[in-house]
Amino acid sequence: MKKTLMAVSIGIAALTMAGCSNQISYGDATEVETTDIGFGSTDLQKVAQDMTDDMLTFPAVVAITAKARPVVYVERIKNKTSEHIDTESISDTISTNLLRSGKFRFVDMGRVAAVRQQLEFQNDGGMVDPTTAISFGKQIGAQYMLYGNLSSIVKDNGKKKDVYYKFTMRLMDLQSGIIEWADETEIRKLEERNKFGL
């Protein structure tokens, strides 16, 4: 009897575990994502594409990049929304798109400490052939700074929730302080709640 009960219990546990297993599949990364009303992958892609397209066709930027590939520093985008949004992903996508255009070069200020550590190793450690060591003070300085803000306005009356996002970016000439380019893009999302709360 005990063996039968044990076998039945194991069988039920196995069926329960099989019934609770999750199914995982790949989706299209560019497909419109509507899981919830918050800032999502579709919004990130739209913002990055809008900013890149406008910047590359703006007359002042076309003139700046006509004969040279200026060096740009990307400052972290300020998140002025009430959501936790990975704004670094937005700036990464924009800078990647601009770099792939062949019009710009970038310096990565987020890796300064790692670069310094490597240069110190090459120059002070005594382990690297001095003729192949990279010297301090040889890096190229950025000529322009790309920076931006992401803000939102949220309205919620219990039946409907409306979220408005505004993303703004600017390109500043670091020597003169002049803003050479600026643009903004907007996203509005509306969530209508089921009256039964389902």
Three-class DSSP category at 55: helix
- Least confident segment among 21-25, 175-179, 184-188: 21-25
58-99: per-residue pLDDT in tens? 999 999 999 999 999 999 899 999 899 889 899 999 999 999
For residues 165-193, b (16+ Cβ closer than 10 Å) or e, as one string? bbbbbbbbeeeeeeebbebbbebebeeee
The helix (run of H) or strand (run of E) holding residue 149 is strand 144-156
The whole-number average pLDDT for the span 37-66 is 92
For residues 99-135, b (16+ Cβ closer than 10 Å) or e, as one string? eeeebbebbeeeeeeeeeeebeebeeeeeeeeeeeee
**Per-domain residue ranges for the chain?**
37-192
Predicted pLDDT of residue 2: 61
Domain 37-192 has CATH 3.30.930.10: no
Pick 136 or 149 by higher pLDDT: 149
Predicted pLDDT of residue 64: 95
Pick 34 or 109 by higher pLDDT: 109
Q: Please give the Cα distance from 71 to 140 (Å, whole number).
A: 8
**Residue 143 tokens, joined:** 């000529």
Q: Please give the Cα distance from 1 to 5 (Å, whole number).
A: 6
Three-class DSSP category at 116: helix
